Structure 1
Amino acid sequence: MTPSATDTYPRRMIYRLVGEGAMVLHMAFLVYVAVGGYLAWYRLPALWPHMACALYGLGITLIGWDCPLTDIETWGRERAGQAGLPPGGFIEHYLTGVVYPREHLLTVQLLVALSVAVSWIGALILHRRRQRHSSENRA
C-alpha cells in the first residue's frame, strides 16, 4: 500500500512506530518462548504464562495459527508506506536466512523445544527439591 497525498508525515510515522513496536514485541515473544521457562527455576508460578506462550508458539509452528503481532506489524508497515511482511511472516523475514541458514530452520525449532523442555523439567526438579528441604527443616 502506498501512502496517499493526504497522508501526513506524522501519521505515517505513527504507523511506522506501530509496525516497529510489533516487531520488537515479536522478538521479545520469541526470546521469552526460547528461554523464559528458566524464570520458573526461581518462581514456579512463572511456569504457567510461559507454558501458555510456548504452546501458542507450538500452535503457530505446527498448526499454522495466525499470529496477531504479524498482522499488526504488516498493518502498520503498509500504512507507513512500507512493504508488509512476506507470507512466511516474522520468522521468515527477520530470522530464517538472516540469523541462521534457511536449511537449519528445523534444527533451530528443535533446539528451542529442547530449551523449553529443559527449563520446565529443571523447574519441577528444583521445586520438588525445595519442598523436600523445607519439610525436612520443619521436622
Structure 2
Amino acid sequence: MIYRLVGEGAMVLHMAFLVYVAVGGYLAWYRLPALWPHMACALYGLGITLIGWDCPLTDIETWGRERAGQAGLPPGGFIEHYLTGVVYPREHLLTVQLLVALSVAVSWIGALILHRRRQRHSSENRA
C-alpha cells in the first residue's frame, strides 16, 4: 500500500510541477520574487525537454509502482504516458511545448512590465 501511495504521490507532484511550469510565472504578476522559483523550474523543464535530463519524479513514480506490483512508466516518461496521445494528439507535442514556452515568456515579460509600472507609479507618488 505504501509503495502505491509513493507512485500516486509522485504522479500528483509531477502534474502539479507541469502546471506550475506552464502557468506559475503569472504569480510574479502579483509578487515579483515569485519569478525566481518559477524561472528555476522552467529552466529545469527546458533541460528535460531539450537536453534529456532525468526527472526524479519519474524515477520515484516508477520505483513506487513497480514495488506495488504495477507497471512503471514507459521509457518516454510521464508526459508520454499521461498526456501525449491522451490529452492532446501525439502529432501536436511540439505545438504544446511551444505554447507552454510562449506562456512562460508572456508571464515573465508581463511580470517585468507590471513591476516597472509599479515602480514608476510609486516614485511619482513620492514626488
TM-score range, shorter chain: over 0.9
Q: How high is the TM-score relative to the length of structure 2?
A: 1.00
* Cα offset, 1:27, TM superposition: 0.1
* Cα offset, 1:80, TM superposition: 0.1
Task: Report the equivalent of 1:138.
Answer: 126
Q: How high is the TM-score relative to the length of structure 1?
A: 0.91
- CA distance, structure 1, for counterparts of residue 47 and residue 13 of structure 2: 18
Q: Note the residue ranges of structure 1 that are not aligned, 5 or more in a row.
A: 1-12
Aligned residue among 106, 112, 117 for 1:118:
106
* Cα offset, 1:99, TM superposition: 0.1
* Cα offset, 1:47, TM superposition: 0.0
Task: Report the equivalent of 2:116.
Answer: 128
Matched residue pairs, number?
127
* Cα offset, 1:35, TM superposition: 0.1
- CA distance, structure 1, for counterparts of residue 65 and residue 53 of structure 2: 21
Provide the secondary structure at the position in 2 that maps to 1:70. Answer: helix
* Cα offset, 1:71, TM superposition: 0.2
* Cα offset, 1:65, TM superposition: 0.0
Runs of 4+ more than 2 Å apart: none
Determine what percentage of the aligned residue pairs are the same residue: 100
Structure number with bigger Rg: 1
Provide the secondary structure at the position in 2 that maps to 1:84. Answer: coil
Task: Report Cα offsets for 1:51-83 as digits up to 9, x if no partner.
Answer: 000000000000000000000000000000000
Task: Report Cα offsets for 1:89-128 as digits up to 9, x if no partner.
Answer: 0000000000000000000000000000000000000000
> RMSD over aligned Cα, in angstroms?
0.1
Task: Report Cα offsets for 1:2-60 as digits up to 9, x if no partner.
Answer: xxxxxxxxxxx100000000000000000000000000000000000000000000000
Q: Note the residue ranges of structure 2 that are not aligned, 5 or more in a row.
A: none
